[in-house]
Amino acid sequence: MKVPISTYRLQLNASFTFKHVAELISYLHELGITTIYASPFFTAAAGSTHGYDVCDPHALNKEIGTPEQLLHITAVLRRNNMTWLQDIVPNHMVFSMANERLADVLERGAYSEYFNWFDIDWMHPDPELHGRLMVPVLGKPLADCLQQQELRLDFDCRGFEIKYKQQAFPLSIGAYEVLLSGLPNDPAFTPVTEMIMQLYSAATCDKSLASWNENKQHVLQASEKEAAAIKLLLLQVNANGQLLQKILQKQYYRLSWWQETNQKINYRRFFAVNELIAINMEDEDVFNEYHSLLFDLYKDNVIHGLRLDHIDGLHDPVEYIHSLRELFGDECYLIVEKILEEGESLPAAWPLQGTTGYEFGAQVNWLLTNPAGAKKMVHYYRSLFPDLPGYKEIIFEKKQSFLEKYMGGEWDNLVRNLYELQLAPAGIDRKTIKQALGLFMCCMPVYRLYPHGGPLEADEQQIIKETVEDALRRAPHLKEPLACLLSIWDIDATDVTINSHRLCFQKRLMQFTGPLTAKGVEDTTFYVYNALLSHNEVGDTPDLDQYSVDHFHRWILQRQQTHPYSLNTTSTHDSKRGEDGRIRLNALTCLVTEWEHQVAAWRQKNNKCKTAWNGAQAPMLQDEYFIYQSLVSGFPENGEVTDEYITRLKDYFIKSVREAKIYTNWQDPDSAYEEAGCRFIEQLLSPQHDFLQSFLPFFNSVLSYAHVFSLTQALIKFTAPGVPDTYQGCEWWNTSYVDPDNRRPVDHALGHTFVQEIKALEAKGSLAVLDHLKNNRTMGAEKFFVTWKALQCRRKYAPVFLLGTYIPLYASVDCGIIAYARQYENQWVLVVAPVSEIAFAGSKSDQLTKVSLPLPDKAPVKWDHLFTGEAISVESNGSSLALHSIIKSFPVALLTGETKIANL
């Protein structure tokens, strides 16, 4: 297995193509990266910036590049001993006619080889959806669109189509009979009749899409002589509303108002995104076809590992992982995107190398948070919003609200599934069962479980027990239906059929608890509960009671035992804010009193910047507080306000308030409220307002902590057990906001130039290097230096980091640092870095000169400090290092040493 020593995440799209990747390889190799970790590169929706809206898994995205360009990259990577980790999307594809498989289903229905490819309920009981796929693209109800003549029949090189504005959908062959009935009884139309009948015959004689496309084009190429008759036919149909309506009723799909999916739907979406339709990956034929090109690329050593996106959406993620492992073999590096809640771990038996690392980022985030300060921040937040429910109660409320407002269709489908499988108890009405099921889903404390037909694991049983207990506490009157839902998780030793039905429902239910949690927590609660925004992050939680260096040591040791090759991630394309923006916010926990005074003064000072809105002053205090924290996290490092930054912050504000869904939302935006918030931001940052005069001094105080803690975060990521991932551009400061802000272009040429500058200065001595870094602090020079040096060390001492032990170390006095050693055979790496403000107090006195760092037995006596170039030796006692000597010149330390190999 080619386990990456380090990865670098690249977001591929039309603005960053294979050509750019090829040009970047020399820089990444120079930086110390061993593996390119690429976003999906298969054909996606036109203009896609992320690639998760796949159209065709059998072709590369032409906007990104060609197979020849990819092979060129492969050759360059091989010369540099580098590999490629590929992100894939096994759960869903784009819902558009660019998806030829889906378009074929809409056109040919059950005659299409892809009829069962997508997760569609063709037997939905609603007469409008029974045997017809819901296509939610209309801007208003279908009847209104027909009345306003917004739909029409058209004909082009693809054949007959239904047009709606700029969108075109194939005319289903099931509607051909009605179309023929609209032809005048005139011999002139006989060729058109024959053409339509030939199309029908070609569509039904062979399920192959390739054969149908070939035969269809053969028929259509001969249609030029019927052009006049076809044009007349279109005029007659489009002038006859009743006939057009009859044609639409015979389609294998139903064009629908997009908001109808809130309460009725017959296909599975990705989360609540209508434009992404799920696929039946549990079907063996679907599995084999979907992965065919991907496997060829792996077999040809073009790619060397896979990152599996959103496996929680699959019907049986565990079965999928085993199937993938069987197909790709034991030597393929496999990691999975999985959000683990606090205390939850990835099952050790899964044949994976680990996760994409959300949980690592959360652990480091809390390591660099003052827990006492965080509690004070929460207390202050509560004083501002005394009526706000607790964090977990907000989660429940937002999950419940989202379920009722936006997932009503999925909810009804689950209830119906319960009855179809004969699992609903007699004597309880359907409405009561629905309430209990909704309550159960909203009380689930994790994204999902992984039922497999046998008894649940002990921790899963506990989760089910806690879920039902929480639901009973909230609704004691639902005791009987909740008992029924609890029994669904039992195994009946005497009834194989009921066990099969229970398992079927369990798996289906789990496909929706994940999206509900994601939308309720990540995309709603994280924008409502704003006590400390740095922990409103994917995989993290803002309500942790306590955390310490020991917590981190214990967690990382456990993770090393089970999944030593999980990614160490501190920023991703899904992050709510950049890794260094989070650290800035964490620094507030060291400055709580100052923060409280500043916010009070800002509220008074900035009240005149608000706008009257619905009898109040906008933005409301919740969003004003959000803006102040967002300024701290994302304000330009050099303190200079630009139009670009103001625009970015306003865009972020609009997204945040729409996600919060309190004063505005995505489906029905309140432009007045949004504009008031944007004006507030503009006036805050205007030269005519004096806000910045008080903000900038406080901001600089925050940076004095954040700069050091960001270096600690980076160093731990590169040296702790796991595979460190650098999100594009994060070798420098990353204070971006949520997507699309975190996908802005990166100036990689800057890194190449800076490496050359440092190398030239190293010849003059460490002092010249450190002075240069300090002078360029605002651009992130020190972080870049730590990243570069740590990656070089990691590549040189790869066995130490991939196979070596992790040894927690403790200073002789608690001085706010974390220290640990990595050791493999005779090679050692030592890490020392500040994690709390105590370390800052020590650095300003003689305290650190009296502190020692005891070393493990048989540790080296001489060490090389990679950041300062110094040689450091143990103290006279021969078993410890003077802490002051380690971090006197640079705030974090990375030391290497070797012990002598005893003669055999």
C-alpha pair distances (Å), 599 with each of 388, 606, 612, 727: 19, 10, 21, 32
Residue 339 carries which DSSP code?
Answer: -
Q: Do residues 508 and 417 make contact, with C-beta atoms less than 8 angstroms apart?
A: yes
Given a cut of 50, is residue 904 above it in pLDDT?
A: no
Are domains 7-91+281-337 and 803-898 of this chain identical in fold?
no
CATH of the domain spanning 7-91+281-337: 3.20.20.80
Angle between helices 691-719 and 781-796 (to 10 degrees): 0
Domain 803-898 has CATH 3.40.50.150: no
Higher confidence at residue 188 or residue 833? Answer: 833
Alpha helices in 666-690 (DSSP H): 671-684
Confidence grade of residue 842 (pLDDT, cut at 50, 70, 90)? low
- Provide, rounded to the nearest whole percent, the portion of the chain with pLDDT above 90: 91
Mean pLDDT calculated for residue range 869-889? 90
Given a cut of 90, is residue 838 above it in pLDDT?
A: no
Residue 506 CA to residue 498 CA, distance in Å, equals 12
C-alpha pair distances (Å), 654 with each of 121, 626, 627, 672, 676: 36, 12, 11, 11, 10
* Beta-carbon-side half-sphere exposure of residue 621 (alpha carbons within 13 Å): 12
Q: Which residue has the tokens 């032809």?
A: 183
Q: In DSSP terms, which residues pair with 728 in a beta bridge? A: none
* Beta-carbon-side half-sphere exposure of residue 15 (alpha carbons within 13 Å): 10
**Which SS3 state, helix, strand or coil, does residue 699 take?**
helix
Q: Do residues 313 and 91 make contact, with C-beta atoms less than 8 angstroms apart?
A: yes
Q: In DSSP terms, which residues pair with 824 in a beta bridge? A: 827
Residue 824: closest CA among 759, 878, 897, 741? 897
Mean pLDDT calculated for residue range 444-472? 94
pLDDT tens per residue, range 689-715: 999 999 999 999 999 999 999 999 999
pLDDT at position 426: 85
pLDDT tens per residue, range 500-544: 999 999 999 999 999 999 999 999 999 999 999 999 999 999 999
Q: ∠ at Cα 63 (62, 68), nearest 5°?
A: 45
Q: Which long-range contacts (CB under 8 A, 24 or more apart) does 547-550 make?
A: 547/366, 547/367, 547/369, 547/371, 548/371, 549/367, 549/818, 549/835, 550/808
| CB count in 10 Å sphere of residue 688 | 5
Give the chain's radius of gyration (CA, Å). 30
pLDDT tens per residue, range 292-311: 999 999 999 999 999 999 99
Mean pLDDT of the chain: 95
Tell me how far apart the terminal alpha carbons of the chain are, to the nearest angstrom.
Answer: 32
pLDDT at position 840: 75
**pTM for this model (two decimals):** 0.95
Q: For the ranges 243-247, 454-458, 499-503, 723-727, which has the lowest average pLDDT?
A: 454-458
pLDDT at position 614: 95
Mean pLDDT calculated for residue range 418-432? 93
Q: Which residue has the tokens 């009671």?
A: 545
Q: Do residues 754 and 781 make contact, with C-beta atoms less than 8 angstroms apart?
A: yes
pLDDT at position 902: 54
DSSP labels for 428-478? Answer: S-HHHHHHHHHHHHHH-SSS-----SSPPPHHHHHHHHHHHHHHHHH-GGG
pLDDT tens per residue, range 611-663: 999 999 999 999 999 999 999 999 999 999 999 999 999 999 999 999 999 99
Which residue ranges make up each domain of the chain?
7-91+281-337, 100-109+119-273, 389-528, 803-898
DSSP labels for 840-867? Answer: HHHHTSSGGGG-EEE--TT--SEEEETT
Q: Do residues 599 and 625 make contact, with C-beta atoms less than 8 angstroms apart?
A: yes
Confidence grade of residue 849 (pLDDT, cut at 50, 70, 90)? confident
Confidence grade of residue 319 (pLDDT, cut at 50, 70, 90)? very high
Residue 313 carries which DSSP code?
Answer: G
Q: Do residues 557 and 806 make contact, with C-beta atoms less than 8 angstroms apart?
A: yes
Residue 95: closest CA among 113, 124, 120, 65? 120
Q: Which residues contact 864 (CB under 8 A, 6 or more apart)?
A: 870, 871, 872, 895, 896, 897
pLDDT at position 903: 42
Q: What is the 3-state composition of the chain as percent helix, strand, coil, each rounded to the nearest 5?
A: 50, 15, 35
Mean pLDDT calculated for residue range 227-254? 94
pLDDT at position 425: 86
pLDDT at position 844: 54
